[in-house]
Amino acid sequence: MSEKARKYSRQYLEGLGVTVLTERMVTDYDGRTLSLKDGMTIKTNLVVWSAGVIGNVPNGIPKEVVQRGARISVDEYHKVTGLDGVYAIGDISSMVTDSNPRGYAQLGNVAMKQGANLANVLAAIEAGKEPKKFVYHSPGTMATVGKWKAVVDLPGFSFTGPFAWLTWMLVHLFLVYTWRNRLVIFNNWMISFFANNSYLRQILLATKGDIELATKYPEEE
């Protein structure tokens, strides 16, 4: 996101007492000590990993077209590099162009646009016509970082604070599928807002039934 959005988010988190470490790489965790690439270590019994997703590459995809994050290299028509009739879209794909040297962000809106474009590409090929290259025009990016606090990056300008938070809520509800889901989410938000708490932050211990099921059906390594 923009420099303004990053700075605002960091200041808010640091104001809550959070120590923010960026441009660091985790190299190891033994259950008690988290090790970083620069030599720094952090003593902790709990690590929550939330650094994004990694692709699950199907068998048959050449190793040389698999890029960082196990993303498959594709051209501007979504075709996997070096393979005919094989296409990839969304988080699993990496479409690198001159104007987009790092590939498109792993966002839902990008994936939906790619899906629609791939359908048109396949229809054009079937009809013997020239397919259109995929070009993504970002409508903007937004994120909430706390109560009354959010960041919004739109083409040309950015804004933060309560108005950005309300904008995030409205857009999020609008994008949710079905009115029933919207009402459920809105109800949960209102409970969290007025109670100043969220049940999503609770960590519940396994029940006796959970333990029995785990024993009966152990996970395969």
What does pLDDT average to over the chain?
Answer: 88
Structural domain includes residue 53? no
Decide if pLDDT at 83 tops 70: yes
Structural domain includes residue 26? no
Q: What percent of the chain has pLDDT over 70?
A: 94
Q: How many domains does the chain have?
A: 1
Structural domain includes residue 72? yes
| Between 199 and 166, the higher pLDDT residue | 166
Q: What pLDDT is stored for residue 201 in this prediction?
A: 57
CATH number at residue 86: 3.50.50.60
Enclosing domain of residue 83: 63-126
Structural domain includes residue 108? yes
Tell me the per-residue pLDDT of 133-150, one tens digit each, with 9 for 90 and over.
Answer: 999 988 888 888 888 889
Structural domain includes residue 69? yes
Checking phi first, is residue 55 left (phi over 0); if not, alpha (psi -120 to 50) or beta? beta
Q: What pLDDT is stored for residue 187 in this prediction?
A: 86
Tell me the per-residue pLDDT of 183-197, one tens digit each, with 9 for 90 and over.
Answer: 888 888 888 888 776
Structural domain includes residue 154? no
Tell me the per-residue pLDDT of 2-35, one tens digit each, with 9 for 90 and over.
Answer: 889 999 999 999 998 999 998 899 999 999 999 9
Structural domain includes residue 117? yes
Q: Contact 158/5 with Cβ under 8 angstroms? A: yes
DSSP 139-191: --EEEEEETTEEEEEETTEEEESHHHHHHHHHHHHHHSSSHHHHHHHHHHHHH
Structural domain includes residue 71? yes
Q: For the chain, percent helix, then strand, then coil, each to nearest 5?
A: 40, 15, 45
